[in-house]
Amino acid sequence: MKAIRTAIGSVEDVLMFFAAASFIAIMLIMSADVLFRYLFSSPLAWAFEVLTRYLMPAAFFFAVSYTLRRGEHLVVEIFHSMMPIKARSFLLGLLYIVATAIIAVICWMSIGTTLGSWRGGEQFVGAINWPVWTSHLIVATGTAVLTLRAVEITISLFIASATGVEPIRSSHAEEEAI
């Protein structure tokens, strides 16, 4: 279980690096777009497509699983902390099974859309005709890793429901050390 957790974590770390790079790129490209428009009356014609089709999806989908691992997704904590750990973990595990299945479906659909766009040679119409499949690939990759992380959390929750010991949710200590 630890090896699986580490393996998923390594992929998440790599994706998070790309998400962070997308953040910096969004900041620089959008600022450059404004400056070019005012200083040279020549905005970056390709900026809108790159920002909305690639960089925003990358900034989100590449960070979403890492965020789940760090326990940074918003949770209403007040009620479930009142329940005994075994019952709480079991019920939450059941909900996670359904949530994981839904994320897996989103991933599966995204893979299908990616392949469809690739085979069809679809392109975004704009200043530069960017390929559509690369944008879908970002969604498919992010949700694939999110599915794996959700599976790992589901298993941890059922182990916790059997043992009564809080699941090891994330490598916080390791993250803090960065």
Partner 1 sequence: MIALFGIVLLVAALALGLPVAFSLLLSGVAGLMLIGGAPMVLGILETAPAASVSSYELITVPMFILMAELMIVSGVADEMFEVIGRWVQRLPGGLAIATALSGAAFGAVSGSSTAAAATLSASSVPTMVRRGYNPRFAAGVVSISGTLAMLIPPSIALVLYGLLSGENIAALLVAGIIPGLMVTLVIISTVLVLVWLDPKIAPRSADIERLEARHWSAVSFLVLFVSVTGVIYMGVATPTEASALGALGAFVIAAIKGRLTLRTLKGAVFKAAQSTAMIAMIIVGAQVFGYFLTLTQVPQQIVISAGALDVPPWVILLVILFIYLVLGCFLDQIAILILTVPVVLPLIIQLGYDPIWFGVVIIVMAEIGLVTPPVGLNVFVVSRYTGVPVEDVFIGVAPHVVAHLFAIALLVLFPALVLWLPSTM
Q: Residues in the site for partner 1, rule: CB under 8 A?
A: 16, 19-20, 23-24, 26-28, 30-31, 33-34, 38, 48, 51-53, 56-57, 59-61, 63-64, 66-68, 70, 72-81, 88, 91-92, 95-96, 98-99, 102-103, 105-106, 109-110, 113, 135-136, 139, 143, 178
Identify which of residues 5 and 62 has a Cβ nearer to partner 1 in the complex.
Answer: 62
Residue 78 CB, shortest distance to partner 1, in Å, is 6
* Closest distance to partner 1 from the beta carbon of 7 (Å): 21
State the distance between the two ends of the chain, measured CA to CA, in whole angstroms. 23
Q: How far apart are CB 1 and partner 1 at their closest, in Å?
A: 21
Q: CA 167 from chain center: how many Å? A: 22
- DSSP per-residue codes, 23-48: HHHHHHHHHHHHHHHHHHS---TTHH
Q: Please say whether the beta carbons of 168 and 160 come within 8 A.
A: no
CB of 4 to partner 1, least distance (A): 21
Lookup: tokens for 139 = 């969604």
Rounded Cα gap, residues 148 and 7, in angstroms: 10
